[in-house]
Chain A
Amino acid sequence: MAMDESVRKAILGAVPSLRAFAISLCGNVDRADDLVQETLLRALANIDSFQPGTNMSAWLFTILRNHFRSEYRKRRREVEDSDGHYAETLKTQPEQYGQVEYREFREALAQLPQDQREALVLVGASGFSYEEAANICGCAVGTIKSRVNRARTRLAELMHVNSAEDFGPDEQVRAVLAGGE
């Protein structure tokens, strides 16, 4: 079946967000782009199983997430990878998101357990509802909610923030960066 123009547009439209999600999962831009590429190839090979009218983005996120999980498990066996290793990877790539202002936040995010990190990103950044995030992760809505809550609490602990005022230093960095542009 030749690809419908609208399908192609929907897939391309999802790519920027897929990349952002992939980077949050694997903590490495090159690896994330490979992950997105593998996701697109899988999606296109199985495009007939996509239900027209349903959410293309959620479908692609599901493929990417499942693919990452299986690859991650494989790699973990190979090199004894772990979330700790992931965090180390991030620390050696300070330019990861291109902005020094996110360093502290990024490092805290990297220390979250994978389940919590993906739930937080899907709901808090990708804009999925709890229901959509639960479908993508193949778990119950309540599970997603509790993961997101735990992720937020843990992030605040890791960043030592108890109130909005504690974000002060980051704000200063932000202001300096904004002023330098």
Chain B
Amino acid sequence: MNERKPVGQQNPIESAANRKRTGAKPAKLGRDVQARLGQQLRAMYDDVVNQGVPDRFTEILHRLEANGSSKDGH
């Protein structure tokens, strides 16, 4: 196996994927590279997540909830 050993401390934002890698074949990529790719992926993803819930979606749920209630005769 030519898997690289991480030098020093593993990044604390170690990917969930890495944690769950047991049973999977060791990837050819070094763990440091994997960790960094994972970090970038999550940073990009979390940027969107941190935008929260746009109003249009809250409104849809409220509207449908109101419709559902009236259908039930409440």
A interface residues, Cβ below 8 angstroms from B: 1-3, 8, 11-12, 15-17, 19-20, 23-24, 33, 36-37, 40-41, 44, 97-99, 102, 105-106, 109, 120-121, 123-127, 129-130, 145, 148-149, 152-153, 155-156, 159, 161-164, 166-167, 170
Contacts and interface: CB of A to CB of B under 8 A. Distances in A.
Contacts of B34: 152
B24 A145 contact: yes
B21 to A, nearest CB: 8
A20 B47 CA distance: 8
Tell me the interface secondary structure of chain B in the complex: helix
A127 B16 contact: yes
Given A16-B51, A97-B48, A164 B30 contact: yes
Indicate the size class of the contact surface on chain B.
35 or more
Interface string B1-35: 00010000000000111001001110111101111
A159 B39 CA distance: 14
B27 A153 contact: yes
Contacts of A149: 24-25, 27
Given A16-B49, A152-B27, A164 B57 contact: no
Contacts of B64: 3, 41, 44
Given A33-B54, A161-B33, A3 B68 contact: yes
Given A20-B48, A37-B57, A153-B29, 5 more contacts: A40-B60, A121-B45, A129-B20, A153-B27, A170-B40
A120 B44 CA distance: 13
